[in-house]
Amino acid sequence: MSEEKKINETFGAEKWVGDFEEVANRLLRKLDKIDKSVDETMQQLLAKMQAMLEMGEIYRQASQRLPEGWTRGLSREQAREVLTQKYNEELLAKLQGHLNKSTEDWEKLRLPYLELIQWSNLPDAEKEKWLELYNKPTSGINITEGDDYARQTPEHPQEHQQ
């Protein structure tokens, strides 16, 4: 009997190797789950950061579209309402423009825009319509390619039903 075989029989090394492989495989599966979870969390954080940057840009654009000295004679609350209205107009223009993007571009901005919609001051009914549209990750909205679903925007739902 070879020396190696004697050692294997005496110490049960083959069983140990099998046990170690099983444990290693379980650990790898757990690490994969952790890795996926971290990836999802990072995607969510990146979406929130992009949404915050986009929100700042939309507010900047909205305020630039208001005439010089537009706050004169307005109370703080009135000024806030005017800026919010302008912001909503800019946000809706961005969302509408995003519908014309390719599937790849749609997916890149879908999560940040979804955050913007959730944070927005849009009227509830309009907000719900946009949320429903942006909660469809694989919709591949692209009006230029004739996607019927793309035409079912909150402003034109009847076009899809025709």
The total of other beta-carbon atoms located within 10 Å of residue 21's CB is 10
Is there a domain that residue 4 lies in?
no
Is there a domain that residue 32 lies in?
no
Return the SS3 of 31.
helix
H-assigned helices in 65-143 = 76-98, 103-119, 124-134
Is there a domain that residue 14 lies in?
no
How sure is the predictor about 138, in pLDDT bands with cuts at 50, 70 and 90?
Answer: low
Is there a domain that residue 17 lies in?
no
Is there a domain that residue 56 lies in?
yes
User: For the segment 17-36, what is each residue's pLDDT rounded down to a tens digit?
Assistant: 677 888 888 899 999 888 88
Mean of the pLDDT values across residues 1-18?
A: 67
**Residue-level pLDDT at 14:** 64
Full domain range(s) for residue 125: 48-161
How sure is the predictor about 10, in pLDDT bands with cuts at 50, 70 and 90?
Answer: low
Tally of domains in the chain = 1
The candidate with the shortest Cα–Cα distance to 107, out of 46, 19, 32, 27, is 46
Is there a domain that residue 150 lies in?
yes
